[in-house]
Structure 1
Amino acid sequence: MSDESRPRVGIVVRTKNRPWFLRRTLADIASQTFTDTAVTIVNDGGAPAPVDAVVAEAAGPLRARLSVIHNDVATGRSAAANAGVRATQTEFIVLHDDDDLWHPEFLSRTVAHLDGRGEEIGVVAETEIVYEAERDGGFAEVGRAPFWPGMTEITYADLLQVNRAVPIAYLYRRRLHDDVGFYREDLHAAEDWEFNLRAALRHRIGYLPGEPLAYWMQRKGVTGELGNSMYALAAEHEHYDRLVRDEALRAYVQRHGPGLVLYLSRYIQDEVARQLDDRRSLGQRVTHTLREWRRDRRTR
């Protein structure tokens, strides 16, 4: 396929045994005002028949741009994302997981942004958290909240603390994978955060403020296959967050020695204790001192 005939945006949809969500997602993609896209659905170990049935129901113009990868067994979030990326030779990539949603102009505005800013490797759109609950065999919105209100840019320093760019909000140039590699397949959660760290270390990631264009759907209390990763994979997120940080720390110490790390570990511990002590009232301090004094007398 020539560059002129190749779609500009590759949309990767990860799904598994969630036909209701997949049907909603395809309708969401079909509602985009920007249509120069190729959609790759990665069915990661789920039953193939329901996925094929949903695809067959898709509107004609969208169905012509759809392809499906059926994994016989689940490979994990990262491997599923990589399979979709590798199957799509487009200028831009975005992960549209099967339970998240977009404003109809998400693609048109993010593509236009990057077309005018060649120095940026990708762009993150203003994002809104949408809470939903089970209703009549599906899910319905029950509330909203801003995601990182007041955020004006994506920086490496902020990403070191916590992820500021969820996949549904992030359109990036596919050549980024040639530069920093693919999603780490040994990470089964927090893979997007680790990928964003590698990207932001070398490149500028833009930010599109204003009206929310991406909707990160969350379902409190819903577990299993219908849950979203924020809650259903909370323990895995914590585990892989710690794993990534520990790997980076060990690599730093191996190269530079433990001196600074040892010093900062104790300094931070002492400083946190000091600040907590400063926040205590005079009465709390006196009570604490008396308890310590009584304990010392009993142990003599």
Structure 2
Amino acid sequence: MNRVTSVLIITRTKDRPELLVRALDSVDQQSFSDYLHLVVNDGGNPDVLDAILAASPNDRRKVIHHPHSLGMEAATNSALRAHQARYVVVHDDDDSWQPEFLSEAVGYLDGHEKETGVVCNIQQVFEKVEEGRVTTLSSRPFNPAVAHFLRDDFFVANQFVPIAFLYRYAVHDEIGLYDERLRVCGDLDFHIRLLQRHSIGKLPGFLANYHIRVATPVPTLSNSVSDKAKHLHFAQQVIEAHDQRTLLQRMCSWWRVRLWYRAKNLLLRFCFRLNQGRASGA
């Protein structure tokens, strides 16, 4: 009987070599090594991708080439159908980890059998890309006030991004794969479906980096959230499909929770900067 790999890492990419190189290095630097890294080329230039992979050899890495783009969620599902593992994480080609992410996340789930997934704290990194060079502009904690993940909170906003989320592969047998009809926000839909039946734990460390390009002139280098109209359209589709409350109840809840999260995040960021100032002055 073949042994099942501990972690399946899925990276979806299309013609973003400047960013993909960083993602590959992020995986290669992990202190935890029992993984399979599956790169899904969703309609990008296969020769360019193969050259990048050849320059960063890793015998735990494989590639799937889509001749034409099928979309983000279809790319994820291609990887899920191709390989099984105990745990899954989506490492997009523009994000990155700290070296201990997999070690700590796997250790948490190994020790908490009742939890279906675990999320670490996230550092939001703002950057620009000029002439193939990525430059960091600023960074800040992303949604750090959240200690527990409740399904209804996702009707206000997605509480975390895929780079920070390790979960059990077996949950797909119960709730299905990602919804390929959604061009974006497939992670929001998946998180809501998962939380209908299961719980997600939280790691205290800032082990994942969520990178956002600022004012990039190259469309392929932008984030999925950059097209706000498209993102809002699909987010509303997801929420309306899952949220059975009346429109008035949704609006009242949205504003109440949104203001509460805003106040908590401002307070936590103030405390975080205050502690940084004290540490630098020590």
TM-score (norm 2): 0.85
1:121-159: per-residue Cα shift (whole Å, max 9, x none)? 000111010111124522121110110122212121222
Q: Which residue of 2 aligns with 1:287?
A: none
In structure 2, the partner of 1:21 is 19
1:238 matched to 2:236: no
Counterpart position of 1:109: 104
Counterpart in the other structure of 1:42: 40
Contact 2:40 2:75 in 1 (8 A): yes
**Where does residue 188 of structure 1 map in the other structure?**
183
Moved more, 71-80 or 136-145: 136-145
* 1: CA distance, partners of 2:247 / 2:39: 47
Distance 1:64 1:149 in 2: 36
- Tell me, in whole angstroms, the C-alpha distance in 1 between the residues paired with 2:199 and 2:240: 25
Distance 1:247 1:157, change over 3 A: closer
2:86 aligned with 1:91: yes
Q: Which amino acid aligns with 2:2?
A: S
2:155/2:239 contact within 8 Å kept: no
Q: Percent identity?
A: 37
1:261 aligns with 2:240: no
Q: Equivalents in 1 of 2:117, 2:139: separation in Å? A: 26
Letter in 1 for 2:46: P
Asked whether the equivalents of residues 127 and 213 of structure 1 are also in contact (C-alpha less than 8 Å), the reply is yes
The structure, 1 or 2, with the larger RCO (C-alpha pairs under 8 Å, 6+ apart) is 2
Aligned counterpart, 2:151: 156
2:169 to 147, 166, 174: 174
Structure-2 separation of matches of 1:234 and 1:25: 25
Q: How does 1:126-141 map to 2 (within 5 A)?
A: 126-141=121-136
What RMSD, in angstroms, separates the aligned Cα atoms of the two structures? Answer: 2.1
Quote the Cα distance in structure 2 between the aligned partners of 1:17 and 1:31: 23
Contact 1:133 1:140 in 2 (8 A): yes
Structure 1 ranges of 4+ moved more than 6 A: none
Mapped pair 1:142 → 2:140: no
**Unaligned stretches of 5+ residues in structure 2:** 257-282
Contact 1:40 1:67 in 2 (8 A): yes
Name whichever of 129-138 and 119-128 sits farther off. 129-138
Distance in 1, matches of 2:82 and 2:228, equals 30
> CA separation of 1:264/1:234 partners in 2, compared to 1, >3 Å: closer, same or farther?
closer
Q: Could you tell me which amino acid in structure 2 is paired with residue 52 of structure 1?
A: D
Tell me if structure 2 keeps the 8 A contact 1:44–1:74: yes
| Equivalent residue letter for 2:142 | F
For the 8 Å contact 1:40–1:87, the answer to whether it is kept is no
CA distance in 2, matches of 1:263, 1:79: 34
- Structure 1 unaligned runs (5+)? 253-259, 273-300
Q: CA deviation at 1:120?
A: 0.3
| 1:12 counterpart = 2:10 | yes
Out of 153-162 and 185-194, give the one that drifted further. Answer: 153-162
Letter in 1 for 2:122: T
